[in-house]
Amino acid sequence: MTTASPAPADSGGASSPLSVLDATGAPTSHGVGRAGGKTILMGEHAVVYGRPALAVPVRSFEVVATAERTAGRGMLRSALYTGPLENAPARLLPTVTAVTATLEALGSPGAVDVRVRSDIPAERGVGSSAAVAAAVVAAVASAHGRALHPDERFALVQAAERAAHGSPSGLDARTVVADGPVWFDGGAATDVAVARGFWLVVADTGVKGRTREAVAGVRARRADDPAGTDALIETLGDLAIVARDALGAGDLHTVGEAMREAHAGLGALGVGDPALDHLVTAARAAGALGAKLTGGGRGGCVVTLASDAAQAERIAGALRVAGAAAAWTTEVEENQ
Ligand code: PMV
């Protein structure tokens, strides 16, 4: 996984024009950017209301974007669409925004021909839109001889994420370029201490996640029942803190219990789905230490906790038998 390297001294924030010369002073023309997937272990939806969340990069997924400077028209080439950038379908607006926002930050140096290859399933809550944007932003900057500071890259990915989700918390944008679990609080991302390594299994219900609708649904619920909704949000944030502290103490049992409670809380918030409940039940029956929906909900994926690789494989197998469209495992290493 590629992470952005620190910006050269002359670069400012994401809005200032960036140099178009490489280290030798020559214009560069070809750039590559990469990003991985993510799963939210705890705190989805609560994070939209300023509570903390804990997310984990999923390394079995990857997006690779390449960008070529061109004197011709700006182009986008992907599995979903190949053609002029300005004619891309509405659903690719986040990708188009990633290109145009980066070019604008570079001082509008001209058009680019961008190619995107991704094995991250879209609309499943595993960070596809943020990962594509992060890879594209890095590729376009790199084609102009620039490696972005993480904060610059974040701001550009967030511009794309706003086109995808309306008002994204920034959690995805931070996690898809991270090397380990991310604690996201008040817009800032920090590393999470992991005293004992573990595995996660992410399984897809096959039902498209509907993050935008789910976020709007929570907002509507809050307008109807502010006290009840805020209490649920508060609890979900507190459970994220419990899980983070338990990871730092190597107490996976407590992490699993917090996941169980969070799944119930998210259901009460109105973002559950019978297909999610079915996989959560199957994961628990297969011995998962914890299982919950992950991401926006109303479809999409579940995340389940396993203590080792063999248990993760058993759970993944059981979830496929239970009807999961796909199941992926990812290791989170001890870092203390
Ligand atoms: O569905 P995903 O994986 O994009 O996650 C959405 C997470 C929310 O907390 C519901 C929204 C957000 O912007 O953080």
- Token readout for 136 is 């594209």
pLDDT, residue 28, reads 60
CA-based radius of gyration for the chain: 20
Q: Could you tell me if the CB of 170 is within 6 A of ligand 1?
A: no
57 in Cβ contact with 37 (< 8 Å): yes
* Complete DSSP assignment for 71-88: SS--EEE-SS-EEEGGG-
- Read off the amino acid at residue 200: L
Burial class from Cβ neighbours inside 10 Å (0-12, 13-18, 19+) for residue 319 reads buried
Burial class from Cβ neighbours inside 10 Å (0-12, 13-18, 19+) for residue 188 reads exposed
68 Cα to the center of ligand 1, angstroms: 31
57 Cα to the center of ligand 1, angstroms: 14
pLDDT, residue 24, reads 53
Q: Is the dihedral of CA 264, 266, 271, 276 positive or negative?
A: negative
Residue by residue, pLDDT tens for the chain (336 residues) are 333 333 332 232 333 334 444 455 545 699 999 999 999 999 999 999 999 999 999 988 899 999 999 999 999 999 999 999 999 999 999 999 999 999 999 999 999 999 999 999 887 888 899 999 999 999 999 999 998 999 999 999 999 999 987 778 889 999 998 989 999 998 889 999 999 999 999 999 999 878 889 999 999 999 999 999 999 999 999 999 999 999 999 999 999 999 999 999 999 999 999 999 999 999 999 999 999 999 999 999 999 999 999 999 999 999 999 999 999 999 999 999
Q: Could you tell me if the CB of 47 is within 6 A of ligand 1?
A: yes
Coil, helix or strand for 204?
A: strand
Distance CA 52, CA 169 (A): 10
Q: Could you tell me if the CB of 209 is within 6 A of ligand 1?
A: yes
pLDDT, residue 27, reads 54
DSSP 8-state symbol, 295: T
20 Cα to the center of ligand 1, angstroms: 34
- Token readout for 168 is 């994204």
Residue 280: CA count within 13 A, CB half-sphere? 26
pLDDT, residue 275, reads 97
214 in Cβ contact with 299 (< 8 Å): no
